[in-house]
Structure 1
């Protein structure tokens, strides 16, 4: 009986596949579901922290957090990935908060990393947009040095109708629509 139990455990261990780990730059189409894209080269670490900049008389503070082993689900693909999430607070020249996502849970911030370009010291993010997905688009952060990053935000066009966006929805784009805005690490 003891031998059958041991044989069962050995067979079970061979039948279970260990989760495969890949570098962040690996194409998710080329790997099995539930693979893990790990920040093996610490490409994300320099971006983590709180950063500030001024733009159009507004103080913009962004907070970048890293979540390891975050589940990502696309239509036909599911995988784990070390991911950056970006939250922000925007204040007018009097210091009044205009818009903030700082109170949201990190993974519900609406801005998350989708790719790294280590040769360019760049991380690309996707922004889901505000109400009615208004302002959705791409955000890139480029590391200038240990205390500075450059911001680029390019919103995509959205056609709003009463059918896809009810009256009263906030269709203001709060994020700075610009390239090369320099943020300083706090």
Structure 2
């Protein structure tokens, strides 16, 4: 009987720690210091991420941006979350197109360096972290925000803000960031 009670208490403790919450709940709790939710799985219960999934394309400042987003399960030592992982191809436009960046066909999510952070607090967008090629002395990583207006579901607006880390050394004059800083790019679903 004593062992049965211990087993029941252990199972109860495990079930209390193993809570699943929605992406929306996690986003609203993230920036609230009074929130004390205890969870180990942030799940896309409402299929909120589905609208971002697929291939998107747009042109900005002489460059064609093509992005492919997939929904995946991220699992780090028991802490799980549904997230979007991205792939990116950037090609210059004009008579002699040149590939600037391309990981569109990379099969390994951990090598794309473009993964989900979660929904925005207002639940109107999704944030991702991106790390591009980084020559010595340059900064090329930050947050990419994705937004889709419900009235135009085949159009996505992206906006990039770099992390603005401390630069060590001089960045070559020929270097340009993968994404333009604080500029909106409009993509169309393919």
Name the TM-score class by shorter chain.
0.7 to 0.9
- Displaced runs of 4 or more, over 6 A: 7-11
Judge conservation of contact 2:68–2:88 (CA < 8 Å) in 1: yes
Normalising by structure 1, report the TM-score.
0.75
Judge conservation of contact 1:55–1:176 (CA < 8 Å) in 2: no
Judge conservation of contact 1:113–1:125 (CA < 8 Å) in 2: yes
Q: What residue number does 1:101 align with?
A: 103
How far does residue 95 in structure 1 lie from its aligned partner after superposition? 3.2
Q: What residue number does 1:15 align with?
A: 10
Q: What residue number does 1:159 align with?
A: 166
Distance in structure 2 (CA, Å) of the matches to 1:138 and 1:65? 18
Distance 1:84 1:43, change over 3 A: same
Distance in structure 2 (CA, Å) of the matches to 1:9 and 1:185? 56
**2:187 paired residue among 176, 183, 186:** 183
Distance in structure 2 (CA, Å) of the matches to 1:15 and 1:85? 36
**1:57 paired residue among 38, 51, 62:** 62
Judge conservation of contact 1:135–1:158 (CA < 8 Å) in 2: no
Distance in structure 2 (CA, Å) of the matches to 1:146 and 1:32? 34
Distance in structure 1 (CA, Å) of the matches to 2:88 and 2:185? 15
1:46-74 C-alpha deviation (Å, 9 max, x unpaired): 00110000011111101111103x1247x
After the TM superposition, which of the residue ranges 47-56 and 10-19 deviates more from structure 2? 10-19
1:146-181 C-alpha deviation (Å, 9 max, x unpaired): 21110101113233325xx9x99x954122334332
Secondary structure of the corresponding residue to residue 30 of structure 1: coil
Asked if 1:139 corresponds to 2:134, the answer is: no
Distance in structure 2 (CA, Å) of the matches to 1:181 and 1:82? 25
Number of residue-to-residue matches in the alignment: 171
How far does residue 98 in structure 1 lie from its aligned partner after superposition? 1.6
> Gapped runs of 5+ residues in structure 1?
none
Distance in structure 1 (CA, Å) of the matches to 2:8 and 2:180? 52
Distance 1:12 1:130, change over 3 A: farther
Distance 1:11 1:122, change over 3 A: same
> Gapped runs of 5+ residues in structure 2?
none
